A and B are shown apart, each in its own frame.
Chain A
Amino acid sequence: MRIAVPGAAREKTLAAAPAGDPRRYYPVGRWLVAPAFIYAIIVTQIPFLVTLYYSTFRWNLMRPDRKAYIGLENYKNLITSLWDASDPYAFRAAIVNSLIFTIGTVLFSLILGLIFAELVNYEFPGRNIVRTMLITPFLVMPVAGALGWKNLMMDPDFGVIDWLLRATGTGLSPVWLAHFPRQSIVIMLVWRWAPFMMLILLAGMQSIDEEVREAARVDGATRFQEFIGITLPHLNRYMQLGALLGSVYIVQETDAIFMTTQGGPGTLTTNLPYHVYEVAVRGSNIGLGAAIGVVTVILTFIAMTVLLRMLNTLLRGQYA
């Protein structure tokens, strides 16, 4: 697999460097990487291989007497269940929800993050305070943040949002986590990840050559024109980076779901990682849980590789 990463362009010069050049391949490098490499293999890859192995068993911890090797049966059941109208393993729901949560959160976070970054990229009184306030949600412990949202913001009786809706005479007082469970989860996740996107995009904005902006202003460009014509094109690869990093974390989200909806009502907020928890830990079904875990890994890996390739095309463009 040829995956290019930032700095890849330099490799050409490296390869072409004469034998006496100090930057040619150093055998010693291998030993410096070895500890981290071996550590990552032991703690992540070996357990994953064991997960693969477990996924070939019918194995419910509550019924050790029925444990048996069943080959690929767990996978067969999962995949055929995708076409079953009643979705007996809640597998289709979990895939759909994972997509909704990841794409929805990344999209809205990017849009909001872009607005925030543009807002605080200009000088105004209290700019540092506003920026500090905006990045805070990213620092808040997700389980504490989720409990705050559930009890202080979204509670139908004591929550601020419903109180505001009532006080403004809209006559609305929805039970957020029951009536709009998916939207509620996305709201909590966007609250956490928009600041993250802002941080990345802010770095991008700060790397724009000020002279280019000056020139545009001299030409009489409005702020909006400046944003569309200069800022946005420059931010393209930062947005890709934000999307990649955000997706890596958001696709694995379990904290907010665990603390608020526990996957429900129905299966409306069950995503793949939470589903593994439900099946393997709550339901003690190790075999099936492992199979769902493996599928989750494969799907995540495909999605991330595609994203990473997109990112690299853009980064390579920068070095060319």
Chain B
Amino acid sequence: MDRELSRRRLMKRAGALGLGVAAVSTLKSAAAQNATPAAPDTSISGSLNVAMVANPQMVALQKLAPEFEKAYPNIKLNLLVLPENEVRDRIRTDVSTQAGQFDLVTIGMFEAADYAQQGWTLDVGTPLQADAAYDYQDIFPAMISALSGKDDKLYAAPFYGESCMLYYRTDLFKTAGLTMPDRPTWDDIQGFAQKLHKKEGPYGIVLRALPGWGEFGAPLTATINAFGGRWFDENWKAQLSAPDSAKAIKFYTDLLINYGEPSATTSGFTECENLFVQGKAAMWMDATSAADLLGDPKLNPQAANTGFVYPPKEAIDTGWLWAWAFAVEKGTQHKDAALAFVKWATSKNYVQLVADRLGWGSVPSGVRASTYANPGYQAYAKGFADLVLSIIKAQDPTKCCTQPVPYKGLQFVGVPEFVTLGDNVTKELANVIAGNEKADDAIKKVNDMANAWAKQNGYQ
């Protein structure tokens, strides 16, 4: 206990110091841009267990991990890379029981503040700020604030950030004589999907419907919000069967049933991306982080024919804000090693390393201003970089809906127990898309589920 306290005091002092250094570094921003990082402290040792979500950017990180081990020869990395739903189960259980199977985990805006509040994760912001070469100020303030705890300290260092946008195939649009407007509405999208849909593919549109609050739950919630709906009103009364929400849910499920991919209910982010890359989709609305990959002809045969545009709007824009970020578990025995890895993986130099080794299509974007200022990236991403930046900047997690709500979060309900509700509601709606249930029945049922959930968890 005593040791714990003194450690905290030390960290605080280090934090104050770090802030000063960071302030100086922004003054000489030109110098900071080119500052070579301090040589890695090779005396740091330990075996690091890292749990990561199996998205393309993390798979790239996995490929480059030997570089880290080269720089820190005494640190041994054990990377566990699993699909989103599976890795989330592992991480949530490990962190909340303080089991300590992992030292480092990838979490996002849904968890960061809450885990910090429970005292499950360590402050990473303070040590990162202390390193001038890391250039903390380069990270978008929106990312920092969404990943900070109530004490305004950063508890998860963002690796890549995203909102959502619409991808479409310019060649298919041209052949069909269609033009994508700058700011399409969901009605426009439905019209296009109807005209472009083919039973054997390409499908009119691909969207996620793989059950899971973070999979199907994200675009679904964003669409509900866009239609002027919400999950709950100010008194935590479920609003999923209220007219605006119900209309959005029905729209989404109908769109997929009529013009979507046949395997919708098993399609999450990666499956949708595959379908698009394989030329099986005329349109796809999903995370902006996919843009980097889709722009690379080596990774996407349709790259030359891929168009990028704002996500559809209805009452408001469809939107979300997310970052996959590294958090250090409080129980870790290898704090220094964990911090060294976080610093390495979220640094500017890492972005450059990925660009050099694997190409710009694999870089983790959406987090650092310097990435967007990099001439190499600008040249590579001229079709979408500005668009992505303007979409990300427009997101505000405290204002999800046209009507007031008692929670934070754009594509999720920002309370810890939402996992269960989000999972169950998306499961039920997937059943509608599978054709086993009527949308109206399911909407009534999920609304009941939401009310029962709110009661059970003490919100109502």
Contact = CB atoms under 8 A, between A and B. Distances in A.
Contact of A156 (B263, B437, B456, B457): B263
B318 to A, nearest CB: 24
A203 interface: no
A265 B431 contact: yes
Nearest to B418: A62
Contacts of A282: 85, 89, 419-420, 423
A60 B457 contact: yes
B212 to A, nearest CB: 8
Interface in B167-186: none
B365 interface: no
B419 to A, nearest CB: 6
B198 to A, nearest CB: 13
B416 interface: yes
A284 B419 contact: yes
B419 A283 contact: yes
B458 A66 contact: yes
Interface string B201-232: 10000000001000000000000000000000
B448 A60 contact: no
Nearest to B451: A88
**Chain B interface secondary structure, helix, strand, loop or mixed?**
helix
Nearest to B444: A86
Interface of B: 85, 89, 92-93, 96-97, 114, 118, 201, 211, 262-266, 280, 416-417, 419-420, 423-424, 427-428, 430-431, 433-437, 442, 444-445, 448-449, 452, 456-458
Contact of B89 (A63, A90, A281): A281
Nearest to B85: A262
A34 B416 CA distance: 46
Contacts of B434: 175, 178-179, 181, 265-266
Given A265-B436, A268-B436, A62 B96 contact: yes
Interface of A: 60-64, 66, 77, 86, 88, 90, 155-157, 173, 175, 177-179, 181, 262-268, 278-279, 281-285
Given A62-B417, A264-B430, 11 more contacts: A60-B457, A86-B449, A88-B449, A156-B263, A175-B265, A175-B434, A178-B435, A265-B430, A268-B436, A282-B423, A284-B92
Contacts of A156: 262-263
B6 to A, nearest CB: 25
Contacts of B448: 86, 88
B419 A266 contact: no
Contacts of A173: 262
Contacts, number: 108
Nearest to A90: B424
A148 to B, nearest CB: 15
Contacts of A264: 211, 265, 427, 430-431
Given A179-B435, A283-B419, A265 B265 contact: yes
Q: Which of B85, B114, B266, B452 has the most CB of A within 10 A?
A: B266
A284 B427 contact: no
Given A178-B265, A178-B435, A266-B431, A283 B420 contact: yes
Contact of B211 (A63, A157, A265, A279): A265
Given A178-B435, A267-B427, A282-B89, A63 B265 contact: no
A157 B202 CA distance: 12
A200 to B, nearest CB: 35
A156 B458 CA distance: 43
A284 B435 contact: no
A194 B137 CA distance: 63
B427 A263 contact: yes
Contacts of B456: 77
Given A61-B97, A283-B420, A266 B263 contact: no
| Most A-side CB within 10 Å, residue of B427, B430, B456 | B427
A310 B458 CA distance: 47
A278 to B, nearest CB: 7
A269 B80 CA distance: 28
Nearest to B114: A62
A88 B442 CA distance: 12
B420 A285 contact: yes
Contacts of A177: 265-266
A263 B423 CA distance: 11
Contact of A64 (B118, B430, B444, B457): B118
Contacts of B428: 266-267
